[in-house]
Amino acid sequence: MTDRDPRADPRAPHLARLASLLADETRAACLLALLDGRAWTAGELARHAGVAASTLSEHLGKLVAGGLLAEERQGRHRYVRLADARVAQLVEDLAAQVSPGAVVRPRNLRAANAGSAMARGRTCYDHLAGRLGIALTDAMTVRGLLVQDTGFALTDAGLGWFDAVGIRLERTGRRALARGCLDWTERRPHLAGVAGAALCRHVLEVGWCVRVGSERAVKVTEVGERALWELLGVELPSG
């Protein structure tokens, strides 16, 4: 074995290890499922991925060791979640690069309905996505609360809007206050970062939106329809 060229980029081995972690369909299915922001048990993920529990456990071990997942244990149960928002961004960005023609058509009416609900509105880790996320992002941009010229940024008016609505923006840590996240169904960026997460948390807490079924889908309530029209002038039919 020859020594590695000292001129080689020291990041290359780390990138190769990351790519190897993602280059497995079962592990990819787990990462996509965990974009709902919840902690899942190994058994739940095994059923979701359609593999044996023992097989799934081996995959989870690799993802945890690779820093993509964080593990928690409560009694006999083992829970895993995405390690942080940066991992969620990586997974969502990669998923958005999949050609629309490569997406498998739904096998039945139930799957088609679930897919339609996800496209209308869903959570992307901890912020809103789908047509709902895009509509809110566009409305904030039109009203001068958000600019997208050279990356996403809240304006002074935008900061004031969050404060007026009663949405606290936690500006500690290294996470960007606002950033664009490429929407894999709409092929356009929606609002992510601290502001996106705070907005998503608020609409769910006050009942403007509710979760639908066991997937990441969310829908606007009648109360939310009125509130979002009054605050942003955006039309989002309830249901």
Q: Which two tokens stand for residue 24?
A: 């497995």
Confidence of residue 111 (pLDDT cuts 50, 70, 90): very low
pTM flag (> 0.85): no
Residues 6+ apart with CB under 8 A from 209: 121, 128, 132, 203, 218, 219, 220, 221, 224
Q: Which residue has the tokens 């080689």?
A: 8
What is the per-residue pLDDT for 64? 93
Q: Domain coordinates of the chain in residue numbers?
A: 12-83, 109-232
What is the per-residue pLDDT for 196? 95
Specify the fold of 12-83: Arc Repressor Mutant, subunit A (1.10.10)
Mean pLDDT for the chain overall: 84
- 136-151 per-position pLDDT tens digit: 999 999 999 999 988 8
Q: Where are the beta strands (DSSP E) in the chain?
A: 40-41, 69-74, 77-82, 122-124, 127-129, 146-147, 153-154, 179-182, 189-192, 209-211, 218-220
